[in-house]
Amino acid sequence: MTLRLADILRIPLIEARNLGAADNAVRDVVTDSRSAGEGDVFVAFRGARIDAHDFVPEVCARGALCCVVEQRWLRRNAAVAEGLPLVVVRDTMAAYGAIAALHRAAFDIPLLAITGSNGKTSSKEMTAAALGTKYRVLANEGNLNNHIGLPATLLRITREHQVVITEMGTNQPGDIAHLCAVARPTHGLITNIGRAHIEKLESREGIAKEKKVLLSVLPKGGVAIINADEALLRGALPRGVRRVRYGTRKDSDVRIVEAGLDADGRAIVRFEAPAFVRRPFTLRLQALGRHAAYNAAAALAAGFVFGCGVKAMTSAIESVASYDKRLQIARVRGVTVIDDTYNANPDSVLAAMDLLQQLEVEGARCVVLGDMLELGAAARQEHEAIGAAIAAAGIPYVLTFGRHSRAISRAAQGVARVAMHFTDRQALIDAVDALLEEGDAVLVKGSRSMRMEDVVTQLLRNEYSEEARV
């Protein structure tokens, strides 16, 4: 790590107490008190259940260089804090970002930021694979894309890295601007504009405005990689920023010519990229669903921008599997289980349903859906629209869970053979167990806090009988 104690004192602070020499090297910047040790800077966050400030004396006793604490904690704990090495700030989360920004600024390397309503993590994984064929890449782990996750990634940059790739998430105005100020992206990629987090961003236009902040801050010589099929992403870029487009439109720089699925739901995609390669080429993805074509196209576009070869990228992208709880398929005792329980919004639910419809199934298709959250005033309308889509698709078994999703099962009634709603998770699990038979396929999905993975866990444990359904 390049940081020294003097650098920590450059962040916006109220006061510093009992610190050592300014040239003391920072071993690491940590937010978990359990991992804090000698030479570390510990940043104390206040959580919903745990306030990490409670562990400040213990961390200091283990030899931490200093602890970054909030002023209001210090006011209430002056006696406990006496003699401890402290950097006092108004907001430790903002301070964490400021420290990460200082560390990022020490490395003159490209940083590709990825945002969008859907597909950020999958596009990031494929892009990291593509760029990894030529560069030493640092990419964020999992979906660490917020005010804590993004700085944590930036603080992992070392002299060994040549390119950084990081996701940027948002659920309210101003989030992307903050993350960009911390990360200083040189390249930006926007996957799409959907209806996720519409509660605080109010409309797809509001979501687009927030996402496009990423493009507005790119420096001269930077590159904007944009989904050409998304009308809300069209518009002017800052002077000196290059635009590279991907999608199905004929004027796309990386064009999806054809996208299909094999018998197991894996995407097979034919591409053209005449500005970069002479001939069309085909990728056989491990990723599931036709929408994975867009993730691969985004990764190819980024790879071409960075000068990567198409053959090496093809092999690398084809090896990327679906990420944890994102359209993962398991087959247990003759039942196909599609686990897409990581999160849910209207667009991702429709994409998952498309995969369910495309799979070769001997028995019946079933959807088990929890609430889609953060939709605000549009919640009822969006849930009803999903129910109508299920009815139009002719899916015979519909089970829903939560408060808002009752509108899904109601909209499917009269068309679906079974449309049931539950407010008790165990009752839902028991009903799914009783319903499924060998040869069926079931999609399980819902917003993160609905814990729909509990349904998947139970499904993977159980056997299914050949008794007739009621």
CATH number at residue 372: 3.90.190.20
Same structural domain, 305 and 419: no
**Same structural domain, 175 and 265:** yes
Whether residue 394 is found in the same domain as residue 270: no
* 67 in Cβ contact with 92 (< 8 Å): no
Q: Are residues 47 and 146 in the same domain?
A: no
Angle of CA points 107, 108, 112, to nearest 5°:
95
Based on the domain organization, do 296 and 427 belong to the same domain? no
Question: Is residue 79 assigned to a domain?
Answer: yes
What pLDDT score does 241 carry? 96
Residue 152 lies in a domain: yes
The whole-number pLDDT of residue 365 equals: 95
* 373 and 306 together in one domain: no
User: Could you tell me if 142 and 218 lie in one domain?
Assistant: yes
* Per-residue pLDDT reduced to its tens digit, 239-275: 999 999 999 999 999 999 999 988 888 899 999 999 9
Same-domain check for residues 260 and 301: yes
Q: Please check whether residue 63 lies inside any domain of the structure.
A: yes
**Which parts of the chain register pLDDT below 50?**
465-470
Q: Is 137 in the same domain as 57?
A: no
Identify the domain boundary among 90, 116, 137: 90
Model confidence pLDDT, tens digit, residues 161-173: 999 999 998 878 8
**Does residue 241 sit within a domain?**
yes
**pLDDT for residue 200:** 67
C-alpha closest to that of 398 among 355, 353, 336, 439: 353
Number of other CB atoms surrounding residue 454 within 10 Å: 15
In a domain, 102, yes or no: no
How many domains does the chain fold into?
3
Domain assignment present for residue 359? The answer is yes
Which of 279, 297, 318 delimits the end of a domain? 318
Burial of 328 (0-12, 13-18, 19+ CB in 10 A): middle
| pLDDT computed for residue 2 by the predictor | 86
What is d(CA 145, CA 66) in angstroms, rounded to the nearest whole number? 26
Question: Is 470 part of a structural domain of the chain?
Answer: no
Summarize pLDDT for 19-68 with one digit per residue, the tens.
999 999 999 999 999 999 999 999 999 988 889 999 999 999 999 999 99
Determine the 3-state secondary structure of 261 from DSSP. Answer: strand
Helix axes 292-305, 310-318, angle to 10 degrees: 150
Q: State which residues form the domain around 304.
A: 107-318
